[in-house]
Amino acid sequence: MAEIVDFGHEQVFEGATTYTCLLFLRKGKNKTFRYGTVKNFEKVKSTKNLDKDSIEWVTVVSKMASEKTWFFAGGAEASVIEKIENLPKLETIAANIFVGLQTSADSVYILDYIKASNKNLCLYSKALKQEIVLESTLLKPIISGVDVKRYNHPLTRQYILFPYRIVNAKAELIKESDMKQLVPKTYEHLKDNEKVLRRREGGKFDDAEWYRFGRTQNISIQEQVKICVPRLVSRIQAIFDEKGEFYLDNVDVGGLVLKEGTRENYLYILALLNSSLLTYYLTKISTPFRGGFYSCNKQYLSQLPIKLIDLSNPIEKSKHDEIIFLAERMLKLNKELTNTSENTDKWYSLKKEIEQTDRLIDEMIYALYDIKEEERKMIDK
């Protein structure tokens, strides 16, 4: 019998992961092969120790090593993968999956919120290391990965200075003379940081448009209705930006826009993304990082399997509608929780109801994907 031994991964520097596998082959065709995951690397330092208790072995059907992505699994795990891996991928129903704004000078453009005052905002500038007051006109709420928690509506803790106008779905840099007249405080802040902005990337921005962002990608689409998902997750965290009010921070958060952009479709996909099942699948295809985190960027987010609903089928439509109802309920409960004082009776009651509703959504999605009881236990362990 052929064998593959996976010695796991070790992050050697931020953003890079190395893998070590040993492949043992036998002559002739094999209907199955053994796949071993090393649980204790220190105890397995040579091929002589491969049968020690520190390796977890599964028997894998050879057809799983096809031209498709390899999932080396056996038993309930193999059964789950076989059921869902051939479903349509998220990319097939997405109009766009995009990242956030790349300024190349975040300390200048991204400011910490302190308080609001009339038509101005009091903010903290990391670049100047002091509080400043700017007109709210060109300030947009921005979220990073830490702000995105399942079904939540993020509190605004940061704003991005956005020196652009969106005209006919295109971003136009506001003229320096217009900013000086319309938003003098904002213009002064940019002038205070002019030397830094001009020197970016070896002087690449030392020209008449010295205050423009470092990259122009996705500048004009930040205000679209979207689902937001962080790049690094221990489990998938997705929120629904129904009003398109949040701008996204660099590659730290991804935005998902659907082709069929009804509210019901967004709530349905929101529930699927936040389910235990799709997090489980993500861990099988994604790059792992230390601390139990996985990459959920476009590369992997786009490949998540989506159960499409036949709305002409009364049974499927009923399941679909119930999932949407529960997703809506989760949004309302989490919003109410945010506005409730912690460690009060009401707060504990809301937490309990959120957990119960979350479990119910998981159960409904398991049923939708035809995941049986033994398979569910394996995923939930």
DSSP string, 321-377: HHHHHHHHHHHHHHHHHHTS-TTSHHHHHHHHHHHHHHHHHHHHHHHHTT--HHHHH
pLDDT over threshold 60, residue 15: no
* Predicted confidence (pLDDT) at residue 13 exceeds the cutoff of 50: no
Residue 370's pLDDT is what?
95
**Where is 211: in which H helix or E strand?**
none
Q: What is the pLDDT of residue 59?
A: 72
- pLDDT confidence of residue 377: 92
Question: Which of 69-73, 153-157, 341-345, 373-377 comes out lowest in average pLDDT?
Answer: 69-73
> pLDDT value at position 87?
96
Nearest by Cα to 165 from 136, 138, 194, 135: 138
Read off φ and ψ for residue 52, nearest 5 degrees.
-70, 165
The overall average pLDDT reported for the chain is 89
Between these two residues, 66 and 91, which has the higher pLDDT value? 91
Backbone angles phi, psi at 62, to 5 degrees: -60, -30
Distances (CA, A) of 36 to 9, 25, 236, 339: 14, 14, 27, 49
CA nearest neighbour of 175 among 214, 128, 215, 211: 211
Q: Which residue has the higher pLDDT, 54 or 362?
A: 362
In whole angstroms, give the CA distance from residue 314 to residue 239.
Answer: 28
Secondary structure (DSSP) of 277-305: HHHHHHHHHSPEETTTEEE-SHHHHTT-B
Above 60 in pLDDT, residue 156? yes
pLDDT at position 11, please?
Answer: 40
- For residues 330-348, give the mean pLDDT: 96
Residues 375/276, Cβ–Cβ less than 8 Å: no
Beta bridge partners of 5: 22, 36
Q: Cite the beta strand spans of 68-176 per DSSP E.
A: 94-98, 110-117, 120-125, 130-135, 139-143, 158-161, 164-167, 170-173
User: How far apart (Å, rounded) are the C-alpha atoms in residues 376 and 42?
Assistant: 32
Which of 28-32, 149-153, 305-309, 375-379 bottoms out in mean pLDDT, i.e. has the lowest? Answer: 28-32
Query: Quick one: pLDDT band at residue 290, thresholds 50, 70, 90?
Result: confident
Q: Is the pLDDT of residue 153 over 90?
A: yes
Provide the whole-model pTM.
0.84
The least confident of 6-15, 225-234, 312-321, 344-353 is: 6-15
- The whole-number average pLDDT for the span 42-59 is 61
Strands, sheet with 232-233, edge to edge from the N-terminal-most edge strand: 232-233, 293-295, 288-289
* Number of neighbouring beta carbons within 10 Å of residue 145: 20
Average confidence (pLDDT) over 169-181 = 95
* pLDDT > 70? residue 37: no
| pLDDT > 70: percent of the chain | 82
User: Whole-angstrom Cα distance, residue 156 to residue 225?
Assistant: 17
User: Which helix (H) or strand (E) covers residue 191, if one does?
Assistant: helix 184-192
Long-range own/partner contacts, residues 187-193 (CB < 8 A, 24 or more apart):
189/108, 189/125, 189/128, 189/132, 189/134, 189/161, 190/108, 190/161, 190/163, 192/128, 193/105, 193/108, 193/127, 193/128
Dig out the tokens for 5 from the structure.
């031994």
pLDDT confidence of residue 22: 58
pLDDT given at position 319: 95
Q: For residue 259, what are its two tokens?
A: 């082709």
- Is the confidence at residue 31, as pLDDT, over 70? yes
Q: What is the mean pLDDT of residues 233-249?
A: 97
DSSP string over 233-259: ESS---EEETT---EEBGGGEEEEEES
Q: Is the pLDDT confidence value at 58 over 90?
A: no
- Of the candidates 19, 17, 18, which has an alpha carbon nearest to the alpha carbon of residue 4? 19
The pLDDT assigned to 16 comes to 44
Instruction: Name the residue with tokens 């051939």.
Output: 86
Distance CA 17, CA 316 (A): 41
Which positions ≥6 away from 187 have C-beta within 8 Å?
Answer: 176, 179, 180
- Among 196, 179, 168, CA closest to 103: 196
- Find where tokens 């400043």 sit: 132
Mean pLDDT of 133-160: 97
What is the mean predicted confidence (pLDDT) over 61-74? Answer: 64
* 56-84: average pLDDT: 72
Task: Give residue-wise pLDDT tens across range 203-236.
Answer: 999 999 999 999 999 999 999 999 999 999 999 9
Query: Which residues, at least 6 apart from 373, have a Cβ–Cβ distance to it below 8 Å?
Result: none
Confidence of residue 114 (pLDDT cuts 50, 70, 90): very high
pLDDT value at residue 46: 53
State the pLDDT at residue 39. Answer: 62
Structure-token match 């479903």, residue found: 87
Tell me whether strands 139-143 and 247-248 are parallel, antiparallel or unpaired: parallel
Examine the pLDDT at 104 and tell me if it is beyond 80: yes
More confident residue, 79 or 266: 266
Model confidence at 8, pLDDT cuts 50, 70, 90, reads low
